[in-house]
Structure 1
Amino acid sequence: MNASRRIALALIAAPLSLGLAACNGDAEGGEVAEGEALDPIAAPEGQQWTDLVQATDEEGYLLGNPDAPIKLIEYGSFTCGACASFVQNGVDELKEDYVNTGLVSFELRNFDRNGIDTTISSIVRCGPDEIFHPLADQVWTNFDTVMTGVQSAQLEGVENLPENQRWVAVASETGLLDFFASRGISRNQAATCLADADAVQGLSERTNTTADELGVTGTPTFFVNGNRVDGTTWDVLEPVLQRAGARSE
């Protein structure tokens, strides 16, 4: 087993930070330029912008108008309480009031802090692109339930299993197979995705490499039009989107 896989597996059983403060990051943000108020952009006939999603080259999933003038990117960890708080308190408003106008696109990229993140990141990609955001939201909406399963799991010795069984065992012991089975990803479907250890670890390494290139050190980290937002909550992010032009005069 290579060093990166040993580290990822070792982190599975590490204590998880469940508070609402930003998770393991303290990078400072920049200033988003103020733009003119923009008129809404119509979605394709018969659709809403929130119906449209596409995978990106950076392993993210972009929701909304791919040509939106205001581009929002979030790096999020599935085991981060602050990320969960953002979904529980702001993501619905973000989608309905900003993404659906066609003015803001929302790309979610995973940042894996531990092996549980790696497991969940792989499962939410088991289905079609369109269900990535809903599944991710389900994890954070039910954060306490998911983390209770994780913290009560017995994961000692998982690193000694054959490679095609390790991540499946993690998902089974933590209750994640059952959690996603009730939300459209069957146990067999999830197990098949997780059995490919090279794909699982490769995904984690690629997503974190992309984050490193942008100086992401914690979650959630937001970028608006390439500028890091100095804050982690919807109350901070919404005025930034408005300043960039997603507002009415």
Structure 2
Amino acid sequence: MRTFNYIAPLAFALALTACGEASEGEAGASAAGSVDAVEAPAGQKWSETVSKTEAGGIVMGNPEAPIKLVEYMSITCSHCKEFGEQAFAPLRDNYVESGKVSFEIRNFVRDPLDLSAAILSRCGGETPFFPLTEQALSYQGTMFEKAQAMGEATYGSILSSAPETRFVRLAEQLGLIAFFQQRGISEDQAKACLADTATAETLMGDTQKAVEEYDIQGTPTFLLNGQKFDGTNWAMVEAKLKEAGAK
């Protein structure tokens, strides 16, 4: 069973070894014929239809889409960043908009940096979640630089502080509050979200459930209609979507 040590050394918090490596995967969708496109309701776009799921993720697209893609992702995972750069635009434009595919992101929090960014990506509610997540992934390198610059002593002091101030202090050091403020999350709103210990506990709990239910060991990991496969390559994921009928 995975445990979460949020008073870990800084070097551990920045380790990228928990990111997944590309693989052929454990399972995929069985071969299927092409499924029909589904038009969004008048005046709407499927990419703008966003809601929270029972599993704690955020899903974009037709709620009744016959092909459901889930990504367990970490904002501090380099492979997740690369996948986002490759996949988010074509996945949205070519598959979600057709009504054939829904795309759900479930945060799999790996470290305190990741948890802070995940909390802020959800701070504005469901509607801005996907663009905020995409932009947070692009900030990954700067976040690591600022984390290294703070040093072990400061990092340890922050993680030893009271739960309601811990992630506020960490996000300030990482420049995350200013980063999200430029993207529509006010400073007061960001600090309130980071101080909400229930949100942090929920995200950690959802991560633990993912380990127990799907044996998630690295990110990104994908579910396609409930079947798990590992990988970081958009071409591989797209092939799975087409195999499932999203042609």
Check whether TM > 0.5. yes
**CA–CA distance in structure 1, aligned partners of residues 22 and 108 of structure 2:** 12
Aligned equivalent of 1:216: 216
**CA–CA distance in structure 2, aligned partners of residues 142 and 164 of structure 1:** 24
The alignment-based identity, stated in percent, is: 36
Aligned equivalent of 2:102: 105
**Runs (4+) off by over 6 Å:** 24-27
Aligned equivalent of 2:172: 172
Q: TM-score, normalised by structure 2?
A: 0.90
2:35 to 35, 38, 58: 38
Aligned equivalent of 1:57: 54
1:107-148 alpha-carbon deviations (Å, 9 max, x no partner) = 000001111111111111111210111110111133323332
**CA–CA distance in structure 2, aligned partners of residues 150 and 160 of structure 1:** 16
**CA–CA distance in structure 1, aligned partners of residues 9 and 119 of structure 2:** 16
Aligned equivalent of 1:16: 14
Flag the 1:160–1:38 CA change in 2: closer, same or farther, 3 A. Answer: closer
Q: TM-score, normalised by structure 1?
A: 0.89
- Aligned-pair CA distance for 1:25: 9.4
- Aligned-pair CA distance for 1:28: 4.2
Flag the 1:12–1:197 CA change in 2: closer, same or farther, 3 A. Answer: farther
Which ranges in structure 1 are unaligned for 5 or more consecutive residues?
Answer: none
Q: Does residue 93 in structure 1 map to residue 93 in structure 2?
A: no
Name the stretch that deviates more: 201-210 or 92-101: 201-210
Aligned equivalent of 1:143: 140
- Aligned-pair CA distance for 1:18: 4.7
- Aligned-pair CA distance for 1:38: 1.8
Q: CA RMSD in A?
A: 2.2
- Aligned-pair CA distance for 1:186: 1.5
Flag the 1:107–1:49 CA change in 2: closer, same or farther, 3 A. Answer: same
Flag the 1:50–1:200 CA change in 2: closer, same or farther, 3 A. Answer: same
Aligned equivalent of 1:162: 162
